[in-house]
Structure 1
Amino acid sequence: MLFAGLLAGLAALVLMAMVSVAVGSRSVPLSTVLDALLAPDGSTDHTVVRSLRVPRTLIGLGVGAALGLAGALMQSLTRNPLADPGLLGISQGAMFGVTIAIGLLGLGDPAVYVWFAFAGAAAAATLVYALGSGRRTGGGPVRLTLAGVALGMVFNAAASAVLRMDNATFDRMRFWLTGSLAGVDGGAAVRFAPFLAAGLVLGLLLAKPLNALALGDEAGRALGVRVGRTRGLTAVAITLLCGAATAAAGPMWFIGLAVPHAVRAFTGPDQRWVLPYTVVLAPLVLLGSDVLGRVIAAPGEVQVGIMCAVVGAPVFILLARRRRLAAL
């Protein structure tokens, strides 16, 4: 049953990807999309599809899968149902790293500034855990979330201060700062692909040891799990996923929070199903939000970062109002 559901999700994702390529300020029939992919003739529609829509859709697939998986890994590792790359400040840390690279150092090559995103994401994760963890009880969900929100605001303020020093840089980055798939070319998509792929593969391979750690550290050790190694590899996967996704499309909210919770509603807590389902359904939600943003504001568009916040905010409010947060 769960396998059949995963296949259905994959089919829906393929359909949504085709819609993403076809829909925009200039609608392109699906037959023309197929012709552009299989036998391009240099026409305007074919150029739009191959040069703009396809890279945008590919980045949407990668970024959605990365943020969804990062959220699921964070929730499992910290046993914090409110864990999300945006809420815990990881995306803002990566954003600050990219801002430093572009705004202060003038490094415009994605293959270069992505390393600054990794450094910012890793620094943010370390600081959030240090600030949100108690000496004896560790980091509770609310405490970690408050630390992440506060630190995220600090990173946002610091990035804004850097950008205000150069109006030209601010104008170039302002769409990226709110989360956008627009303007991503094929070259950038290729540069980010190895990092996204490495994070996705590593994250999916951690499903079994994370299941064991959900029983507690002692039980995990009894089952043969190397606790420190598993936590370290999970942190590496989260850094790769958040850093690459943020460098590619800017900071996004709520994808990593809402999708894993929706998945666990019908898969249960088994990470061997939660993680693959999240990898499939998170980009479905992201691409759907992106298409909706293009449709409701045609011939312009509402950026996907804004649409994700509109979709995900009610989920966060629902979670925050619950007396008992769901067990992971």
Structure 2
Amino acid sequence: MNIRLTGIVLGIVFVIFGLAASIAVGKSMVPLHTVIDAFTSFDGSREHLIIRTVRVPRALMAMMVGASLGMAGSIMQAISRNPLAGPEMLGSNYGAALLLVISMFVFGFTSSLIHMWAALLGAGLACLVVFMLGSLGRGGLTSIKLILAGATINMLLASMVQGILIFSEESLDEMRFWMAGSLTGGSMEMFVRVLPYMLVGMAGALVLSRQINLLSLGDEVAQGLGLKIGLMKTAALFIVMCLMGGSVAIAGPIGFIGLAVPHIVRFMVGLDYRWIIPYSALLGAGLLLLADIAARFIFPYQELPAGVVTAMAGAPFLIYLAQRREKR
């Protein structure tokens, strides 16, 4: 118990270090005392403005998005009982992207409030469709049917997003950086609007961690222990919708954080989701902060989207997981 609590403290320190590094490190390095002065004795200088209006909001977005992806991934792997399941497997990434693209480039809505609701509803509807398809047939919802339904819906939604964007070169240029999963163009107004929903999702995941623990044992075992399976899976769907909808609205579809983080955490703390979920939040936040920092330096004159960096690191990890599962 003490070791796990110590791990939580170390995780918080890791996230704080990532926040500080994200604010101070970039194409132009900012001394730590300048960062502190930007808040304690703001003088309106260029450095202070960049810190307060660009780097701090971006660091906060990376922290919240990474934490949300880590928690959503751990919940998905618990309820599907499949280690290769990530939150993107529910179609939530491209579900949010599709409704967002439709609201922006088909109907011409420019309000961040409408964009937020489009992302949240798109993520929720995609999750709902995947769960419904995965529940059809004999045996109800199984991990294999859930993954197959998620992969199918993901491909369908991704092709629909590309189909809409390809008709407008201007729209494609505007959206392609966001579609790769970028924190660069994240709107602080959007972040403030979706933050309450992300916090609700995080709080719900922590409160229901014990029930999620039972779900990870299988439907029959959980039902035998008195858990209402349908109600619990609906609650889990709502939590994932809040976490993923908010994340995609801010930063676009960032992959592999939700897939990889729960595996690393299980190696550290075991199979108890009462610990896996908070550890996943901290590790996800820290890793996305580091990925966003790395994205600034891979090319000297061009900044990569953070989603590209996570994909570069996550693809070998996914191959390793698939091979390990095949051997078993």
Give the TM-score taking structure 2 as reference length: 0.93
The equivalent of 1:37 in structure 2 is 39
> Does the aligned pair in 2 maintain the 1:211–1:271 contact within 8 Å?
yes
Q: Percent identity?
A: 38
How many residues get paired? 326
After superposition, what is the alpha-carbon deviation per residue over 1:155-187, rounded to whole angstroms, capped at 9, x for unaligned? 111111212233322222221111100022432
Per mean C-alpha deviation after superposition, the further-off stretch among 224-233 and 276-285 is 224-233
- Return the alpha-carbon distance in structure 2 between the equivalents of residues 325 and 194 of structure 1: 43
Task: Give the deviation of 1:142 after TM superposition.
Answer: 4.8
Q: 2:233 aligns with which of 231, 234, 242?
A: 231
Task: Give the deviation of 1:84 after TM superposition.
Answer: 1.0
The equivalent of 2:124 in structure 1 is 122
The equivalent of 1:54 in structure 2 is 56
> Does the aligned pair in 2 maintain the 1:67–1:245 contact within 8 Å?
yes
Q: 2:179 aligns with which of 177, 181, 197?
A: 177
> Does the aligned pair in 2 maintain the 1:121–1:243 contact within 8 Å?
yes
- Return the alpha-carbon distance in structure 2 between the equivalents of residues 49 and 300 of structure 1: 20
2:216 equivalent to 1:206:
no
| Runs of 5+ unmatched residues, structure 2 | none
After superposition, what is the alpha-carbon deviation per residue over 1:84-118, rounded to whole angstroms, capped at 9, x for unaligned? 12234221111111111111112222221121222
> Does the aligned pair in 2 maintain the 1:192–1:244 contact within 8 Å?
yes
Kindly tell me: are residues 64 and 272 of structure 1, through their superposed partners in 2, closer, same or farther at Cα, counting changes over 3 Å?
same
Q: SS state of the match for residue 88, structure 2? A: coil
2:82 equivalent to 1:80:
yes
The equivalent of 2:98 in structure 1 is 96
Pairing 1:222-301 to 2, within 5 Å after superposition? 222-301=224-303
Task: Give the deviation of 1:285 after TM superposition.
Answer: 0.7
The amino acid that maps onto 1:17 is L
Task: Give the deviation of 1:82 after TM superposition.
Answer: 1.3
2:146 equivalent to 1:144:
yes
> Does the aligned pair in 1 maintain the 2:25–2:293 contact within 8 Å?
yes
- Return the alpha-carbon distance in structure 1 between the equivalents of residues 284 and 179 of structure 2: 20
> Does the aligned pair in 1 maintain the 2:209–2:274 contact within 8 Å?
yes
> Does the aligned pair in 2 maintain the 1:52–1:184 contact within 8 Å?
no
| Runs of 5+ unmatched residues, structure 1 | none
Task: Give the deviation of 1:48 after TM superposition.
Answer: 0.5
> Does the aligned pair in 1 maintain the 2:187–2:250 contact within 8 Å?
no
The equivalent of 1:315 in structure 2 is 317
> Does the aligned pair in 2 maintain the 1:25–1:299 contact within 8 Å?
no
> Does the aligned pair in 1 maintain the 2:119–2:246 contact within 8 Å?
yes
Task: Give the deviation of 1:222 after TM superposition.
Answer: 4.5
Task: Give the deviation of 1:133 after TM superposition.
Answer: 4.9
Q: SS state of the match for residue 225, structure 1? A: coil
Pairing 1:100-111 to 2, within 5 Å after superposition? 100-111=102-113
- Return the alpha-carbon distance in structure 2 between the equivalents of residues 196 and 293 of structure 1: 24
The amino acid that maps onto 1:311 is A
Give the TM-score taking structure 1 as reference length: 0.93
- Return the alpha-carbon distance in structure 1 between the equivalents of residues 88 and 224 of structure 2: 34
Per mean C-alpha deviation after superposition, the further-off stretch among 225-234 and 153-162 is 225-234
- Return the alpha-carbon distance in structure 2 between the equivalents of residues 253 and 56 of structure 1: 18
